[in-house]
Amino acid sequence: DGGITQSPKYLFRKEGQNVTLSCEQNLNHDAMYWYRQDPGQGLRLIYYSQIVNDFQKGDIAEGYSVSREKKESFPLTVTSAQKNPTAFYLCASIPDGDVQPQHFGDGTRLSIL
Amino acid sequence: GQNIDQPTEMTATEGAIVQINCTYQTSGFNGLFWYQQHAGEAPTFLSYNVLDGLEEKGRFSSFLSRSKGYSYLLLKELQMKDSASYLCAAMDSNYQLIWGAGTKLIIKP
């Protein structure tokens, strides 16, 4: 079945460590997004990519980095510069064309050790 | 600035009807989405409105008034499985979604 796969489901980060969250989709969607969700808050956009080898910063990009080397893959790295990384991270994608709803992966919950 | 407001929490009774309101202010407008999110899970799409009026989908309906910057999600014949957070998101002129904080709906027997 087509969908978006995020891994791992749970991730723990030590002080000073970079960690990478995986997001893979087999929907042939052009645009992919990374959001952060904190308790009691809406989704906040970290980065998005509308085409391979191109990506744009969202509202809270500081302390994060991404790459888009393949259409199917949009990994997010949480760097040591992100001082408060504990959150639920969601990856989403949409097809090209008219306005469409975003499809979401199951999310990765990141915590600090 | 861009802003979405919706109530933090609502409580309703199984079998009843509940209306969740959402007001928005965006730079340009390309429609309004409603998503359902169960605790610890990803949001799932419920509805999309871009024109004024009511869209009905089974037990769920969504209404939009562009002139008032207002939408609501109406849930009928509430079931226990409807206990979840309901997220309102408006699409701005750059086709980016501005998300509300979500309304946690608690259903009581």
Chain segment B85-95, per-residue pLDDT in tens: 999 999 999 88
CB pair distance less than 8 Å for B43 and A90: yes
d(CA B85, CA B43): 9
CB pair distance less than 8 Å for B30 and A101: no
Tens digit of each residue's pLDDT (9 = 90 or more) over A53-97: 999 999 999 999 999 999 999 999 999 989 899 999 999 999 877
How confident is the model over A33-53, as a mean pLDDT?
93
Closest residue on chain B to A90 (Cα): B42
Tens digit of each residue's pLDDT (9 = 90 or more) over B18-58: 999 999 999 999 999 999 999 989 999 999 999 999 999 99
Looking at the predicted structure, is the pLDDT value of residue A2 above 80? no
Mean pLDDT of chain A: 93
Show residues of chain A in contact with B42, CB under 8 Å: 90, 104-107
Which residues, in sequence order, are CB contacts of B21 under 8 Å at separation 6+? B6, B7, B70, B71, B72
